[in-house]
């Protein structure tokens, strides 16, 4: 999993005033819409006793109150009220949770999950169809029991189409993939690929005119960190799908798809468009969930590659460069508890870089464990929740703002 990127974490229409939990990169976040319409994103764990802020309520105009002890946090993560404190007692500077930059674009809420300053952050991708009145969008989501990189590579893999999708999308009688060129930038890559189409069926067959073309141009592409594009140029119009593969954990992915079409653009055809998207995905599901190894190998030579795999190879090479840069969510980002496989992910927010003295003051604790080393004493590693929690406890006893 890659940090320091903008991730689309929820559809805009799903985010309201009421706090809502979302998960990405193995970490839980709370999102809510402020009175002015802006969306806020915080870590979902109260720094005090780990209560889930998403179970809390809104206080004042835009503050969120923990359901456990009522601690209130501003959208920037700063705690501004501790109800148990007597009058006149200050609030520790380290009483805060991670807050992540958030914007809305393309019908989605995006959060920047990393600590890089704004000028060094990778850009969000550009989806020109969203603002083009010739296109209509539909939204669909599901969860798949597979690693997000496997689900990503599945979409850009044109060679599987004739076999997995049969006559619904591919043509098993003509499975050959002509050689193609990959156009790659710093944060994305795409290729125009010729596929032999099957005859259209159902509602779409009403738009068919003239003989069926020998090939259609399909543009496959990826955008870092987790988005894939499928653009099918049908004889009667364009269908463009953007798949957001959200890592819930190493082996579980939430897929949010925004689909655009410039044919049958009335609302009456939305159900048919969603049905087709779901059908294609469900054909992929059993194959992707059965892939082994479950995680993409780090060694490029661990799997055999052909020229038709050029987009996947380009992704894996770019991924390795970012791993070498330290952008991989690895050991330093995991808080291990005393129960096997109990872990949580810590994604540093920009505030940690802005306030170095607070960098280890609040962490994402392991759910269901006390983050000890099995002896009852806090762990001593740099990412351990126990040591940081003990440090924060001292601050709560003696430090005031």
CATH for 83 = 2.102.10.10
In terms of Cα–Cα distance, which of 160, 172, 148 is closest to 306?
160
pLDDT bin (cut points 50, 70, 90) of residue 382 is: very low
What is the model's pTM? 0.86
- What CATH number is associated with residue 272? 3.90.380.10
- pLDDT of 401 > 60? The answer is no
**Are 160 and 277 in a shared domain?**
yes
Over the stretch 261-285, which tens digit does the pLDDT of each residue have?
999 999 999 999 999 999 999 999 9
The average pLDDT across 49-58 equals 94
Backbone angles phi, psi at 108, to 5 degrees: -135, 155
Do 172 and 318 fall into the same domain? yes
Q: Are residues 116 and 141 in the same domain?
A: no
For residues 193 and 259, membership in a common domain is answered with yes
Of the chain, the percentage scoring pLDDT greater than 70 comes to 80
Share of the chain above pLDDT 90, in %: 64
Same domain, 241 and 261: yes
pLDDT band at 334 (very low <50, low <70, confident <90, very high): low
How confident is the model at residue 397, as a pLDDT? 34
Say how many domains are in the chain.
Answer: 3
Query: Do the domain assignments include residue 331?
Result: no
Residue 246 forms part of a structural domain: yes
Same domain, 103 and 207: no
Q: Of 371 and 291, which is predicted with more confidence?
A: 291
> Mean of the pLDDT values across residues 308-317?
95
pLDDT in tens, 65-111: 999 999 999 999 999 999 999 999 999 988 999 999 999 999 999 99
Q: Report yes or no on 328 lying in a domain.
A: no
Domain housing 358: 349-398
Q: Is residue 183 part of a domain?
A: yes
Which pLDDT belongs to residue 392? 36
Q: Is residue 62 part of a domain?
A: yes
- Answer whether residue 268 is part of any domain: yes
**In a shared domain, residues 98 and 155:** no
- Residue 11: pLDDT band (50, 70, 90) is very high
- Domain co-membership, 54 together with 142: no
Q: Which of 72-86, 223-237, 382-396 has the lowest mean pLDDT?
A: 382-396
Among residues 73, 102, 120, the one where a domain terminates is 120
* Segment 175-221, tens digit of pLDDT: 888 899 999 999 999 999 988 776 665 554 555 555 666 778 899 99
Rounded CA-CA distance 196/211 in Å is: 13
Residue 234 lies in a domain: yes
Where does a domain end: 70, 94, 120? 120
Is residue 319 located within the same domain as residue 389? no
Note whether residue 330 is domain-resident: no
Looking at residue 243, what is its pLDDT?
Answer: 98
pLDDT of residue 365: 45
28 & 100 share domain: yes
pLDDT digits (tens, 9 = 90+) for 138-157: 999 999 999 999 999 999 99
Higher-confidence residue of 386 and 319: namely: 319
Phi, psi of 389 (to 5 degrees): -65, -40
Tens-digit pLDDT profile for residues 12-39: 999 999 999 999 998 999 999 999 999 9
**Looking at the structure, do residues 309 and 354 belong to the same domain, yes or no?**
no
Residues 193, 284, single domain; the answer is: yes
């Amino acid at each position: 999993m890659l940090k320091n990127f903008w991730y689309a974490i929820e559809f805009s229409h799903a985010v309201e005033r009421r706090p809502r939990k979302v998960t990405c990169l193995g970490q839980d976040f709370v999102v809510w819409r402020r009175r002015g319409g802006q969306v806020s994103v915080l870590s979902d764990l109260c720094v005090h006793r780990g209560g889930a802020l998403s179970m809390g309520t809104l206080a004042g105009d835009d503050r969120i109150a923990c359901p456990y002890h009522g601690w209130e946090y501003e959208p920037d993560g700063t705690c501004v009220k501790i109800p148990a404190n007597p009058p006149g007692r200050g609030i520790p500077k380290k009483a805060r949770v991670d807050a992540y930059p958030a914007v809305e674009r393309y019908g989605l809420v995006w959060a920047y999950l990393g600590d890089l300053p704004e000028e060094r952050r990778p850009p969000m991708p550009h989806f020109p169809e969203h603002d083009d009145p010739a296109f209509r969008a539909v939204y669909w989501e599901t969860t798949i029991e597979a690693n997000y990189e496997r689900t990503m590579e599945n979409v850009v893999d044109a060679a599987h189409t004739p076999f997995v999708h049969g006559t619904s999308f591919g043509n098993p009688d003509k499975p050959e993939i002509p050689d193609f060129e990959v156009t790659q930038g710093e944060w994305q890559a795409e290729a125009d690929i010729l596929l032999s189409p099957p005859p259209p069926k159902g509602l779409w067959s009403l738009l068919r005119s003239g003989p069926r073309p020998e090939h259609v141009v399909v543009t496959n592409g990826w955008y870092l960190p987790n988005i894939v594009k499928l653009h099918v140029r049908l004889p009667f119009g364009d269908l463009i799908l953007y798949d957001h593969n959200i890592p819930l954990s190493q082996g579980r992915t939430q897929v949010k798809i925004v689909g655009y079409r410039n044919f049958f653009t009335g609302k009456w055809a939305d159900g048919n468009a969603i049905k087709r998207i779901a059908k294609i995905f469900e054909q992929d599901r059993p194959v992707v969930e059965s892939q082994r190894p479950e995680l993409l190998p780090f060694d490029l030579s661990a799997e055999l590659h052909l020229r038709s795999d050029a987009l996947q190879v380009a992704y894996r090479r770019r991924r390795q460069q970012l791993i070498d840069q330290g952008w991989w969510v690895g050991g330093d980002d995991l808080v291990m508890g005393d129960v096997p496989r109990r872990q949580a992910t810590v994604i540093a927010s920009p505030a940690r870089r802005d306030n170095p003295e607070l960098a280890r003051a609040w962490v994402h604790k392991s759910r269901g464990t006390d983050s000890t080393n099995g002896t009852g004493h806090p762990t001593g590693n740099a990412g351990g929740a126990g040591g940081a929690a003990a440090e924060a406890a001292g601050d709560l006893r003696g430090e005031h703002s």
